[in-house]
């Protein structure tokens, strides 16, 4: 009897063990669960075409069993605006993000709209004094031991040791002041509102949110694990300052998108230059920190890169692993970064590309939070390896400036995607969540750079390039489908609502429109000196954003200016009493807005005079409501598909002509295109009501499914399950 009982017990234990092995941790939790996976820029029309061709089997099955349709985006249809609305369930009038850029209040200077630069006190006087006291005590005991070793009398020994300790304490005062910062830079998130995952955590739900845009610096409620994405700067406090070292001689030290171009002569096969780092906020004038980097040509296929004692031997076409570099602000304060190199070629000129400087998650500056809790980023690095922390982590800008080739861009994208995918699947597998959210950016980045390979009507279309890379956009959608399929198979059961979304769609970017030039030619903006003929004075480069002495709108005569354009289709009225040198009286405001709206709606392209260029021009009080409206530009331009605000206009430049062909690798876009032409995608694992859906509806839908009350200030509405 005892044997039978024992055998039965062992069989039950074995069955239980097999059950635990067979069922993933994420599938055995009690209660409702929600998974929301975003794919930046995934376009519903392309999804429909690929599903019709049978190339997206997992999304097709999801559409058949659940729901699929367009997801209305925000106005404007820009990633930071849309993802902020996704997070909060609110429009821009509430969360305060209206564009990638905004003008600095009280000036005409542009700044990044997602986060602002502030300061916070450095280590307290007590902490500094404690460090000095510790050093003094160490000196006291060292002297004491040394003198005792010479068998001097105790009184003499102690006196000498005390004098030494006091001297050290006094001497370290000026040193501490120079070596320990009295204040620290403090990034401040400009997005207002409460993200829906915080509401879930406050209700006792466990949340994991991976690579969520517009969350830097990270902060959340207890119960949330979060990593930041779009909006997270590099170590130089930019959105991605990359480097190109070469034997080639460059016309400028900087590219248009703030890449650093370094000419390096090899003498005896070896040459050296410097790597640009962050500005030293502890030093007068905030000088740029530089560290030496050297290059040695080993043979006709290999080059050695050495920085701070770390040596990397690269063959042509080979990437390095992550290298660690350190920038010393003082003997006591250092910033640690990670970066990778690729040897692009050796003949006829050699070129080495270096990606932007990422923060090392194991050695973060005290006010830089790329995750919540602060140590979560370090935990992820320990579990899955190092990855880029830069929010814009795929090499679009170097390709835009022709510093790298398409193969290098694709390699970098695939590397980043593999890292992101490994983290997402690994954290899903851990199962310690009720709400799981993640955003992949590769679909957006691929389309930005590859539209010239699929749009035969693009002015920069290239047949040879199309033959080599023309399948890459569709590949990115197929990769999206594979990710969805893996999540569906491994982590979704009857208790789990699975949503797949995007923030906006995509268009070919064929022609750029210089809106500031249009304002000048319509007597709405005044210029000094040579006017539009001053090409150099009217040209703007992104490096000026990084330069404390950077100049913007330097040729504009503000006394003769009624409006100016900055960012991606944002127009500001030069209103007296609000702008620094306002020229438009409040009583003239509506008339000036009407003049701009009517003029832009009548705008025609000389290359296609019968076609409309501008779909709509929106007044801010027509499309926004909420307490942040006062920060919004006065007008937003929504172009027809194929047109976009020019690069120079976005940075405040004023080229001589209104229209220009987009002869650039950055050949697809969505920014400044009319939002009703730029919807995103929506998939649900369950059948939901067939009604108009908005990105503002995702937050309340997730909360409703989790049984968390939806706050009254959320503007979206929950999409509830349909009756079979």
DSSP string, 367-436: T--SEESTTHHHHHHHHH------SS-S-HHHHHTTSS-HHHHHHHHHHHHHHHHHHHHHHHHH---SEE
Q: Is the pLDDT of residue 458 over 80?
A: yes
CB-based burial label for 14 (10 Å; 0-12, 13-18, 19+): exposed
Any idea which residue has 């003082």 for tokens?
Answer: 330
The whole-chain average pLDDT of the chain stands at: 90
pLDDT at 549 (0 to 100):
58
What are the sequence ranges of the domains in the chain?
Answer: 33-87+193-227+433-506+679-708, 123-180, 233-390, 509-677
Rounded-to-integer distance, Cα 357 and Cα 351, Å: 18
Tokens of 75: 């106005």
Phi, psi (rounded to 5 degrees) for 538: -95, -5
Rounded-to-integer distance, Cα 296 and Cα 303, Å: 6
pLDDT, one tens digit per residue, over 559-581 is 999 999 999 999 999 999 999 99
Q: Are 502 and 83 in contact (CB under 8 A)?
A: no
Mean of pLDDT values over 33-43? 99
CB-based burial label for 458 (10 Å; 0-12, 13-18, 19+): buried
Rounded-to-integer distance, Cα 52 and Cα 17, Å: 43
pLDDT, one tens digit per residue, over 343-390 is 999 999 999 999 999 999 999 999 999 999 999 999 999 999 999 999
pLDDT range class, residue 6, cuts 50, 70, 90: very low
pLDDT range class, residue 220, cuts 50, 70, 90: very high
Give the containing element (helix H, strand E) for 446.
helix 442-450
Q: Are 127 and 600 in contact (CB under 8 A)?
A: no
Nearest to 388 by CA among 398, 372, 377, 400: 377
Give the containing element (helix H, strand E) for 706.
helix 698-706
pLDDT at 66 (0 to 100):
97
Mean of pLDDT values over 252-263? 89
Q: By three-state DSSP, how is residue 348 classified? A: coil
Q: By three-state DSSP, how is residue 239 classified? A: coil
Q: Are 409 and 399 in contact (CB under 8 A)?
A: yes
Q: By three-state DSSP, how is residue 78 classified? A: coil
Q: Which residues have a Cβ under 8 Å from the Cβ of 489 and sit 6 or more positions away? A: none
What superfamily would CATH give domain 33-87+193-227+433-506+679-708?
Alkaline Phosphatase, subunit A (3.40.720.10)
Q: In what order do the strands lie in the sheet with 333-339?
A: 323-330, 333-339, 358-359
pLDDT at 690 (0 to 100):
87
pLDDT at 25 (0 to 100):
46
Cα–Cα distances in angstroms (integers) from residue 705 to residues 170, 495, 497, 701, 719, in the given order: 63, 10, 8, 6, 9
pLDDT at 16 (0 to 100):
40
Q: Are 518 and 563 in contact (CB under 8 A)?
A: no
Any idea which residue has 């055995």 for tokens?
Answer: 28
Q: What angle do CA 462, 465, 468 make, to 5 degrees?
A: 150
DSSP 457-521: TSTT--HHHHHHHTTHHHHHHHHHHHHHHHHHHHH--TTEEEEEE-S---EEEEEEE-HHHHHHH
pLDDT at 289 (0 to 100):
97
Rounded-to-integer distance, Cα 348 and Cα 246, Å: 11
Mean of pLDDT values over 695-710? 98
Quick one: residue 714, left, alpha or beta (phi over 0 = left, psi -120 to 50 = alpha)? beta
Q: Is the pLDDT of residue 144 over 60?
A: no
pLDDT at 134 (0 to 100):
54
pLDDT at 1 (0 to 100):
40
Q: Which residues have a Cβ under 8 Å from the Cβ of 150 and sit 6 or more positions away? A: none
pLDDT range class, residue 296, cuts 50, 70, 90: very high
pLDDT at 15 (0 to 100):
40
Residue 598: half-sphere exposure toward Cβ, Cα within 13 Å? 6
Q: Is the pLDDT of residue 142 over 70?
A: no
Mean of pLDDT values over 539-545? 63
Rounded-to-integer distance, Cα 387 and Cα 359, Å: 10
Nearest to 228 by CA among 238, 217, 244: 217
Mean of pLDDT values over 438-459? 99
Percentage of the chain beyond pLDDT 70 is 85
Percentage of the chain beyond pLDDT 90 is 75
Q: What angle do CA 40, 46, 52 make, to 5 degrees?
A: 135
Backbone CA torsion sign across 487, 490, 491, 492:
positive
pLDDT range class, residue 693, cuts 50, 70, 90: very high
Any idea which residue has 């510790």 for tokens?
Answer: 134
Mean of pLDDT values over 633-638? 98
Return the C-alpha torsion angle 363, 368, 370, 372, nearest 10: 100
pLDDT at 22 (0 to 100):
38
Q: How many residues does the chain have?
A: 724
Rounded-to-integer distance, Cα 536 and Cα 654, Å: 10
Q: Is the pLDDT of residue 509 over 50?
A: yes
pLDDT range class, residue 340, cuts 50, 70, 90: very high
pLDDT range class, residue 4, cuts 50, 70, 90: very low
Rounded-to-integer distance, Cα 337 and Cα 12, Å: 53
pLDDT, one tens digit per residue, over 516-533 is 999 999 999 999 987 787
């Amino acid at each position: 009897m005892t044997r039978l009982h024992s055998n039965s017990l062992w069989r039950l234990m074995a069955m239980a063990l097999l059950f635990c092995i067979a069922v993933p941790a994420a599938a055995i939790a009690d209660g409702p669960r929600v998974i929301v996976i975003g794919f930046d820029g995934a376009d519903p029309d392309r999804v429909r075409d690929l599903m019709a061709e049978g190339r997206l089997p997992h999304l097709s099955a999801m559409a058949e069993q659940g729901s699929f349709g367009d997801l209305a985006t925000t106005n404007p249809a820009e990633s930071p605006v849309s993802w902020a609305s996704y997070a909060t369930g609110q429009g821009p009038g509430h969360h305060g993000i209206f564009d990638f850029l905004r003008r600095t209040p009280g000036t005409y200077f542009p700044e990044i709209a997602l986060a602002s630069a502030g300061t916070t006190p450095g280590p307290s006087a007590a902490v500094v004094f404690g460090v000095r006291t510790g050093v003094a005590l160490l000196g006291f005991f060292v002297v004491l031991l040394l003198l005792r070793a010479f068998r001097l009398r105790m009184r003499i020994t102690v006196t000498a040791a005390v004098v030494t300790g006091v001297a050290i304490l006094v001497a370290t005062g000026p040193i501490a002041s120079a070596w320990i910062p009295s204040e620290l830079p403090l990034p401040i998130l400009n997005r207002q509102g409460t993200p829906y995952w915080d509401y879930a955590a406050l209700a006792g739900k466990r949340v994991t949110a991976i690579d969520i845009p517009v969350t830097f610096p990270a902060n959340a409620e207890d119960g949330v694990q979060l990593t930041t994405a779009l909006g997270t700067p590099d170590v130089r406090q930019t959105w991605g300052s990359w480097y190109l070292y070469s034997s080639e001689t460059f016309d400028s030290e900087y590219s248009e998108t703030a890449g650093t171009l370094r000419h390096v002569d090899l003498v005896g096969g070896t040459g050296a230059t410097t790597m640009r780092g962050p500005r030293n906020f502890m030093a007068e004038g905030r000088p740029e920190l530089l560290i030496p980097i050297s290059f040695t040509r080993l043979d006709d296929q290999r080059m050695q890169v050495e920085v701070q004692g770390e040596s990397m031997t690269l063959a042509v076409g080979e990437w390095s692993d992550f290298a660690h570099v350190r920038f010393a602000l003082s003997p006591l304060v250092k910033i640690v970064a990670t970066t990778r190199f690729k040897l692009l070629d050796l003949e006829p000129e050699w070129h080495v590309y270096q990606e932007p400087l990422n923060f090392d998650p194991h050695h973060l500056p005290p006010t830089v939070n790329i995750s919540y809790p602060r140590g979560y980023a370090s935990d992820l690095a320990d579990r899955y390896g190092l990855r880029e922390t830069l929010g814009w982590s795929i090499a679009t800008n170097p390709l835009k400036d022709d510093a790298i080739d398409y193969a290098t861009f694709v390699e970098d994208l695939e590397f980043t995607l593999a890292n992101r995918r490994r983290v997402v699947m690994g954290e899903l597998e851990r199962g310690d969540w009720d709400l799981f959210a993640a955003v992949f950016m590769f679909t957006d980045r691929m389309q930005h750079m590859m539209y010239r390979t699929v749009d035969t009507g693009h002015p920069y279309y290239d047949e040879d390039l199309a033959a080599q890379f023309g399948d890459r956009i569709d590949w990115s959608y197929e990769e999206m489908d594979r990710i969805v399929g893996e999540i569906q198979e491994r982590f979704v059961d009857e208790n789990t609502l699975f949503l797949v979304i995007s923030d906006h769609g995509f268009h070919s970017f064929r022609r750029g429109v210089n809106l500031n030039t249009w304002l000048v030619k319509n007597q709405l903006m005044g210029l000094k000196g040579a006017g539009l003929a001053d090409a150099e004075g009217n040209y703007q480069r992104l490096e000026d954003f990084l330069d404390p002495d950077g100049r913007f709108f330097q040729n504009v005569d503000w006394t003769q200016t009624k409006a100016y354009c900055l960012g991606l289709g944002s127009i500001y009225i030069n209103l007296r009493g609000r702008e620094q040198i306002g020229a438009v009286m409040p009583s003239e405001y509506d008339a000036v807005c009407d003049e701009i709206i009517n003029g832009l709606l009548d705008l025609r392209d000389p290359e296609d005079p019968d076609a409309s260029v501008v779909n709509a021009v929106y007044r801010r009080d027509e499309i926004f409501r909420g307490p942040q409206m006062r920060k919004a530009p006065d007008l937003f331009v929504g172009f027809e598909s194929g047109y976009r605000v020019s690069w120079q206009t976005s940075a405040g430049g004023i080229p001589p002509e209104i229209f220009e062909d987009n002869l650039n690798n950055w050949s697809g876009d969505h920014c400044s295109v009319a939002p009703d032409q730029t919807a995103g995608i929506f998939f649900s694992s369950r059948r939901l009501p067939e009604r108009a859906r908005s990105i503002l509806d995702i937050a309340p839908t997730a909360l409703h499914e989790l049984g968390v009350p939806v706050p009254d200030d959320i503007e979206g509405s929950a999409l509830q399950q349909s009756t079979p």
